[in-house]
């Protein structure tokens, strides 16, 4: 009986809480990850109880299933190169939108290697495993081969590495995802750092100029030691290993109009 009561309460709460929000509205209210969680809740309830109780007037599912009502802005449509493991591979790749890469990070595509890496404590073995087991992205653009000279088209994005945050990671992450300038933020493969994507314009300044500018911005805005902001990642073809992070953040400003 308790289980039936709990299920009824879940349905009632679900209807009352978000039933009449559109998907774009919920993205603005909760962020994309939160909105997708509510979509998944309704979809799971449909699987258990059938569609009749929900589909007729559920604005969330109706608008989620009609992507024309929630168009992606140009930056989320930016195309980047995703290279297959190992890191020595510089040619075998796919071209994916930023939104598609975020969905890979959020999903299970990289769960196994991320879990394995975090069990390897010896630094040398850890680096070797990451270099051989992880696929990677070049977030600043598409490449015919991974080299600065191989850039085909810049994406308008730059990725900043924040290393070795350890116990301060939750606090720093919360501050960064609350910052309107943040486009995407996800936890690094080892679980103790962050990868943060920002906008940039290669026509105005060089990749290095933007990278150093964002390093200074992060240091000044969030009190980060410059030593934690990896200075080696400033080149346009820099590889960013792709981890599993179900909490990957997309700024709602860049998801909805």
Domain-terminating residue out of 69, 89, 107? 69
Total structural domains in the chain? 2
pLDDT at 10 over 70: no
In the three-class reduction of DSSP (H, G, I as helix; E, B as strand; rest coil), residue 49 is classed as helix
Query: Per residue in 187-225, is it b (16+ CB within 10 Å) or e — as a string?
Result: bbbbebbbbbbbbbebeeeebeebbeebbebbeeeeebe
Residues 60, 160 within the same domain: no
Tell me the average pLDDT of the chain: 83
Quick one: 31 and 123 in the same domain?
A: no
CA 164: distance to chain centroid?
19
Q: Cis link prior to 86 (omega < 30° from 0)?
A: yes
Three-point CA angle 151, 155, 157, nearest 5°: 115
Q: Is the pLDDT of residue 98 over 50?
A: yes
pLDDT confidence tier of residue 76, bands split at 50, 70 and 90: confident
Alpha carbons 242 and 160: distance in angstroms, whole number: 14
Which one of 19, 37, 69 terminates a domain? Answer: 69
Query: Is 150 in the same domain as 218?
Result: yes
User: In a 10 Å sphere around its CB, with 0-12 CB exposed, 13-18 middle and 19+ buried, how is residue 86 labelled?
Assistant: middle
Domain limits for position 15: 2-69
| pLDDT at res. 139 | 96
Does residue 206 share a domain with residue 141?
yes
Contacts of range 150-154, beta carbons closer than 8 Å, 24 or more positions apart: 150/90, 150/237, 151/236, 151/237, 153/79, 154/202, 154/236
In a domain? residue 74: no
64 inside domain = yes
Q: What is the reported pLDDT for 207?
A: 93
Q: Tell me what pLDDT residue 12 has.
A: 58
Share of the chain above pLDDT 70, in %: 80
CA distance 189 to 244: 7
Are residue 232 and residue 250 in the same domain, yes or no?
Answer: yes
pLDDT of residue 46: 65
Please tell me whether residues 192 and 164 are part of one structural domain.
Answer: yes
User: What's the burial of 180, exposed, middle or buried (CB within 10 Å: 0-12/13-18/19+)?
Assistant: exposed
Contact 139, 80 (CB under 8 A): yes
Asked if residue 28 is part of any domain, the answer here is: yes
Residues 134 and 189 in one domain: yes
Q: How confident is the model at residue 150 (pLDDT cuts 50, 70, 90)?
A: very high
**Entry pTM:** 0.71
Shared domain check, 111 and 164: yes
Domain check: are 242 and 205 in the same one?
yes
pLDDT confidence band for 257 (50 / 70 / 90): very low
């Amino acid at each position: 009986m308790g289980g039936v009561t709990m299920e009824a309460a879940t349905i009632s709460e679900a209807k009352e809480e978000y039933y009449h929000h559109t998907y774009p509205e919920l993205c603005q209210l909760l962020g994309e990850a939160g909105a997708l969680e509510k979509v998944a809740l309704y979809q799971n309830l449909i699987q258990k109880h059938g569609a009749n109780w929900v589909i007729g007037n559920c604005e969330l599912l109706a608008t989620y299933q009609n992507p024309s009502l929630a168009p992606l802005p140009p930056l989320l449509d930016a195309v980047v190169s995703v290279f297959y493991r190992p890191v020595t591979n510089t040619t075998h790749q796919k071209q994916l939108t930023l939104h598609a890469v975020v969905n890979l990070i959020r999903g299970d595509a990289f769960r196994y290697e991320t879990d394995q890496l975090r069990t390897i404590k010896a630094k040398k073995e850890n680096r070797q495993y990451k270099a051989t087991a992880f696929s990677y992205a070049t977030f600043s653009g598409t490449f015919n081969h991974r080299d600065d000279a191989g850039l085909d088209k810049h994406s308008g994005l730059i990725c900043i590495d924040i290393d070795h945050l350890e116990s301060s990671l939750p606090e720093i992450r919360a501050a960064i995802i609350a910052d309107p300038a943040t486009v995407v933020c996800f936890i690094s493969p080892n679980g103790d750092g962050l990868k943060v994507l920002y906008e940039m314009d290669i026509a105005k300044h060089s990749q290095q100029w933007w990278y150093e500018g964002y390093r200074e911005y992060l240091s000044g805005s969030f009190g980060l030691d410059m030593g934690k902001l990896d200075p080696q990642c400033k080149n346009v073809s820099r590889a960013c290993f792709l981890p599993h992070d179900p909490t990957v953040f997309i700024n709602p400003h860049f998801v909805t109009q």
